[in-house]
Chain A
Amino acid sequence: GDSVTQMEGPVTLSEEAFLTINCTYTATGYPSLFWYVQYPGEGLQLLLKATKADDKGSNKGFEATYRKETTSFHLEKGSVQVSDSAVYFCALSANTGGFKTIFGAGTRLFVKA
């Protein structure tokens, strides 16, 4: 079945450091890929998405590129802030109208001032 694997956390960085959170997936067909973010005490919210190969999703300085050849969707940010401290979930959804989404285990990010 479809699955998502992301790097284990926690990831601890200093402010203004470069961030990469790795994500790889297994899926039949051509899913849409997502990164969701969960801030403390809140529900998940969509951070960015990409719906086909080579698409780049971007939002709030975060980027991820849909790489079909490596089945990856790594999240990157050039300069993290303390306010980016959260849990990040990589996810996929088959483009068959089902809306069901497979989530990774989540990666907790701590950013120190």
Chain B
Amino acid sequence: DARVTQTPRHKVTEMGQEVTMRCQPILGHNTVFWYRQTMMQGLELLAYFRNRAPLDDSGMPKDRFSAEMPDATLATLKIQPSEPRDSAVYFCASAGGQAYNEQFFGPGTRLTVL
């Protein structure tokens, strides 16, 4: 059963610390998305990659957020330095193959910045 995996599932950190979230897309999927979900803003697209190249990161605060795909099996989202307003659930999703425009979401990383 192919799934998107995300680690860690929960992260509590203090303001100013670096946070790294990881995502393993479904094998064979060539598109990876990062989303942030909060009660106030709902689901926001932060960035997405095609064949490991960034296509759109306009939703991401550039000064503190960065997203990369070091290889086809790993996507990372970093926040440095973290702030309390970054507290949210961060989702990774992947797409590709036959179900070309269906997105498969991971379980999310719940981030709390104190």
Please report A residues at the B interface, Cβ cutoff 8 Å.
Answer: 32, 34, 41-46, 49, 89, 93, 95, 97-101, 103, 105-106
Contact = CB atoms under 8 A, between A and B. Distances in A.
8 contacts: A43-B108, A44-B91, A44-B93, A45-B105, A49-B102, A99-B50, A100-B48, A101-B103
Question: Which 5 interchain pairs have the tightest Cβ spacing?
Answer: A43-B105, A93-B101, A99-B95, A99-B31, A44-B105
B42 A43 contact: no
A105 B100 CA distance: 23
- Identify the interface centre among A34, A93, A100: most chain B CB within 10 Å of its CB: A100
A89 B103 CA distance: 13
A99 B91 CA distance: 16
Given A43-B93, A103-B43, A97 B108 contact: no
Interface string B2-23: 0010000000000000000000
Given A43-B107, A100-B48, A34 B102 contact: yes
